């Protein structure tokens, strides 16, 4: 905390553990919200260690130990997909949005009909240690991507399902 913060009295608490819940809304049967603690209770999968590397610059960021997390497709299946017309699934996208507004997409096909879906997870543990909000949790991670940084979303806040209208 800087002296200026102390003087004005507007500084945030040193440890902010709020805002760790992930909402799941859009074209689903029942909207959901999962706190970090609730995510820890759900069935999980283990990812492989990897090197975090930026797509845009190819910059090596850091090595990352095994994540443990809940499969994105399992959370979506729990909410249930709304399918009003035949073929709706085929035009469905999933948008994962972080607290800072950073957002990435998946298609229904990727998640439910390719190996990408088997490794797209919402991580709450890294190297057998629980991840805290301060570590960026919950982190969305797509383990089958060629360069992992773009779909390595820190502080995931929202998952939105949309059937694209043409």
Binding site for ligand MTE (CB under 6 A): 54, 61, 98, 100, 102, 149-150, 152-155
The listed partner (ligand MTE, Mo ion, none) that binds 102, CB under 5 to 8 Å by sort, is ligand MTE
What residues numbered 76-95 form the site for Mo ion, per CB under 5 A?
none
Q: 21, 45, 54, 144: which one contacts Mo ion (CB under 5 A)?
A: 54
What residues numbered 134-163 form the site for Mo ion, per CB under 5 A?
149
The listed partner (ligand MTE, Mo ion, none) that binds 5, CB under 5 to 8 Å by sort, is none
Contact criterion met (CB below 8 Å) for 123 and 65: no
The listed partner (Mo ion, ligand MTE, none) that binds 29, CB under 5 to 8 Å by sort, is none
Pure H helices in the chain: 3-8, 36-41, 72-79, 108-113
Q: How far is CA 46 from the centre of its chain?
A: 15
The listed partner (Mo ion, ligand MTE, none) that binds 31, CB under 5 to 8 Å by sort, is none
The upper half-sphere exposure of residue 101, i.e. CA atoms within 13 Å in the direction of its Cβ, equals: 0
The listed partner (Mo ion, ligand MTE, none) that binds 73, CB under 5 to 8 Å by sort, is none
Strand stretches in the chain, DSSP E = 22-26, 32-34, 45-46, 50-53, 60-64, 67-71, 92-98, 103-107, 120-126, 129-130, 139-142, 152-153, 156-163
User: For 72, left (φ over 0), alpha (ψ -120 to 50), or beta?
Assistant: alpha
Nearer to ligand MTE, 124 or 152 (CB): 152
Best CA proximity match to 166, nearest among 78, 109, 99, 85 = 85
Q: Does 52 bind Mo ion (CB under 5 A)?
A: no
Q: Binding marks (x or -) toward Mo ion, 94..133, rule CB under 5 A?
A: ----------------------------------------
Q: Which residues would be at the binding site for Mo ion (CB under 5 A)? A: 54, 56, 149
């Amino acid at each position: 905390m800087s002296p200026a913060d102390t003087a004005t009295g507007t500084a945030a608490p040193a440890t902010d553990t709020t805002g760790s819940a992930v909402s799941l809304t859009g074209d689903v049967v029942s909207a959901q919200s999962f706190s970090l603690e609730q995510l820890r209770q759900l069935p999980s999968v283990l990812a492989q260690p990897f090197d975090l590397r930026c797509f845009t610059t190819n910059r090596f960021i850091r090595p990352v130990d095994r994540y443990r997390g809940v499969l994105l497709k399992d959370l979506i299946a729990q909410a249930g997909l709304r399918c009003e017309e035949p073929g709706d699934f085929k035009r469905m996208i999933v948008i994962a949005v972080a607290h800072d507004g950073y957002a990435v997409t998946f298609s229904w096909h990727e998640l439910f009909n390719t190996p990408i879906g088997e490794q797209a997870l919402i991580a709450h543990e890294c190297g057998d240690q629980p991840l805290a909000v301060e570590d960026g949790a919950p982190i969305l991670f797509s383990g089958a991507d060629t360069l992992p940084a773009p779909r390595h979303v820190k502080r995931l806040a929202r998952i939105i399902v949309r059937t694209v209208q043409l």
